[in-house]
């Protein structure tokens, strides 16, 4: 979701994108960059493909609604549970910590493939996890509870 300043409401990034979605945070080891990628479960439509940038402001507005802001837009995610929100938050904060501690230049830790990031890894590892509309982790490849991409609160001051 993105926050529309004109209507003062949270809206889908593109019309027709409401519904359950799988969210992953990917790490490109060649460039040491991260992306949030969301795919709608019903039709596999990409609903978000966002590059996590240095200096991004991340806020846990409620236990189950998180948002972040870049120079242009405020993004928001609803989660089905506090646990799912915490899983996403840990991965996002891990990525932000890496991004904000970079001194420029590229990371030389791997072949340049995208890896999924998850909580509980000592290093970035390829555990699959998902968030549905943008919500919850996978266990042994099975989706857990999901949430609907809608609603939310006005953006907090980030």
pLDDT, tens digit only, all 158 positions of the chain: 899 999 999 988 877 777 777 888 898 888 888 999 888 888 888 888 999 998 899 999 999 999 999 888 999 988 878 988 898 999 999 999 999 887 653 443 333 445 555 433 222 323 333 333 333 332 223 333 333 233 344 455 55
> Domain spans of the chain?
2-143
Q: How many CB atoms lie within 10 A of CB 122?
A: 5
Token pair 């507005």 is found at: 61
pLDDT reported for residue 149: 32
Q: What is the full DSSP assignment across 19-72?
A: S-EEEEEEEETTTTEEEEEEEETTT--EEEEEEE-TT-EEEEEETTEEEEE-SS
pLDDT reported for residue 152: 41
pLDDT reported for residue 66: 94
pLDDT reported for residue 117: 54
Alpha-carbon span 78 to 39, nearest angstrom: 15
pLDDT reported for residue 115: 54
pLDDT reported for residue 140: 28
Question: What is the CATH T-level fold of the domain 2-143, as seen in this structure?
Answer: PH-domain like (2.30.29)
Task: Note the pTM of the prediction, 2 decimals.
Answer: 0.66
């Amino acid at each position: 979701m993105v926050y529309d300043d004109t209507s003062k409401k949270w809206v889908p990034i593109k019309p027709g994108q409401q519904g359950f979605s799988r969210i992953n945070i990917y790490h490109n080891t060649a460039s040491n960059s991260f992306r949030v990628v969301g795919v709608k479960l019903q039709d596999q439509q990409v609903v978000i493909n966002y590059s996590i940038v240095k200096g991004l402001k991340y806020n846990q507005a409620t236990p189950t609604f998180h948002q972040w802001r870049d120079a242009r837009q405020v993004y928001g995610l609803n989660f089905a549970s506090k646990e799912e929100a915490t899983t996403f938050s840990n991965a996002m904060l891990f990525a932000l910590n890496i991004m904000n501690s970079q001194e420029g230049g590229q990371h030389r830790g791997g072949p340049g493939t995208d890896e999924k990031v998850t909580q509980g890894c000592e290093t970035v590892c390829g555990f699959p996890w998902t968030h549905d509309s943008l919500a919850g982790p996978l266990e042994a490849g099975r989706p857990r509870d999901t949430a609907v991409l809608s609603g939310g609160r006005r953006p907090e001051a980030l």
